């Protein structure tokens, strides 16, 4: 595009041009639009949480008038993260999916915890992690009897809002439908039954 190049070629025109400038100004206008002009070195690509400040735009680097380094700059353009995230929620969700955090509550515990389900390869790992986190025993899952005999049973809320026993469905299905986890007393788990 035009831009930087045309500016340089027009220097002579500039000097004879009628301007509103103050006396003494306009004569030594520094040319060049490189990023070195301001001492900002481009930051390493900094993503705002779920932010849509976007992908590196290597494919758009052919504009001459753009500053040389085109890495993403923090806080530019000046749009609040809330607005960015709201406009590109699919992107935000996609980024959040790389790391699937769900809340875990336990009856009687004052605080919720959050865990990333994607770090576990299957139910056994998940259950061990929960046992460690809350210092309790969950025991073994059996299809017919659930967690019968254990002090605690892990349950989860699925996409439909129903509370299910952890372990009833295949792991992949669980990953895609689990919204949050809740560890309940073993005695209360009887109502949840077995099987999906």
Partner 1 sequence: MITNKKPRSSDTDSNYMRDDRTEMSEDDDRSPPSDSIANGSCPTRTCTPGSGSGSGSGSSSIPEYSAPYPDRVLENVLENVLWFLTSRKDRNAASLVCRSWYRVEAMTRSDLFIGNCYAVSPERATSRFTRVRSVTLKGKPRFADFNLMPPNWGAHFAPWVSATAKAYPWLEKIHLKRMSVTDDDLALLAESFSGFKELVLVCCDGFGTSGLAAVASKCRQLKVLDLIESEVSDDEVDWIMCFPDTETCLESLIFDCVECLVDFDALERLVVRSPSLKKLRLNRFVSIGQLYRLMVRAPQLTHLGTGSFSPSEDVAQGELELDYVSAFAACKSLVCLSGFREIVPDCLPAIYPICANLTSLNFSYANISAEQLKPIISNCHKLQTFWVLDSICDEGLQAVATTCKELRELRVFPFDPREDIEGPVSEVGLQAISEGCRKLQSILYFCQRMTNAAVIAMSKNCPDLVVFRLCIMGRQRPDHVTGEPMDEGFGAIVMNCKKLTRLAVSGLLTDTAFAYIGKYGKIVRTLSVAFAGDSDMGLKYVLEGCPRLQKLEIRDSPFGDTALLSGLHHYYNMRFLWMSACRLSHQGCQQIAQALPHLVVEVIKHEDTVHTDDYADTLYMYRSLAGRRHDVPKFVSIL
Footprint of partner 1 on this chain (CB under 8 A)?
1-7, 10, 19-22, 25-26, 29-30, 33, 37-41, 43-44, 46, 48, 52-54, 57, 60-61, 63, 65-67, 70, 73-84, 86-87, 89, 103, 105, 112, 160
- Choose among 71, 73, 68: nearest CA to 36: 68
By residue count, the chain amounts to 196
Q: Is the dihedral of CA 81, 70, 26, 10 positive or negative?
A: negative
Residue 15 vs 151, nearer CB to partner 1: 15
Cα(14)–Cα(8) distance, rounded to whole angstroms? 10
Three-class SS of 15-27: HHCCCCCCCCCCC
CB of 8 to partner 1, least distance (A): 9
Residue 7 vs 120, nearer CB to partner 1: 7
CB of 147 to partner 1, least distance (A): 24
- Strands (E) across the chain are located at 101-106, 113-116, 152-157, 163-165, 180-185
Residue 61 vs 125, nearer CB to partner 1: 61
CB of 118 to partner 1, least distance (A): 21
CB of 2 to partner 1, least distance (A): 5
């Amino acid at each position: 595009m035009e831009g930087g190049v045309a500016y340089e070629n027009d220097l002579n025109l500039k000097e004879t041009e009628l301007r509103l400038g103050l006396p003494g100004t306009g004569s030594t206008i520094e040319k060049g639009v490189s990023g070195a002009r301001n001492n900002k070195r481009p930051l390493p690509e900094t993503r705002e949480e779920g932010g849509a400040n976007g992908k590196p735009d290597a494919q758009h680097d052919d504009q001459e008038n753009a500053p040389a380094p085109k890495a993403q700059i923090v806080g530019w353009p000046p749009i609040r993260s809330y607005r960015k995230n709201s406009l590109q929620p699919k992107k935000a969700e996609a980024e959040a999916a790389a790391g699937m955090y769900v809340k875990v509550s336990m009856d009687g515990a004052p605080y919720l915890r959050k865990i990333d389900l994607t770090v576990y390869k299957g139910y056994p790992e998940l259950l061990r992690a929960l046992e460690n986190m809350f210092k309790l025993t969950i025991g073994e899952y059996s299809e017919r009897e659930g967690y019968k005999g254990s002090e605690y049973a892990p349950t989860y809320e699925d996409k439909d809002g129903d509370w299910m026993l952890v372990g009833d469905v295949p792991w992949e299905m669980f990953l895609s439908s689990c919204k949050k986890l809740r560890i309940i007393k073993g005695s209360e788990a009887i109502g949840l039954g077995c099987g999906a």
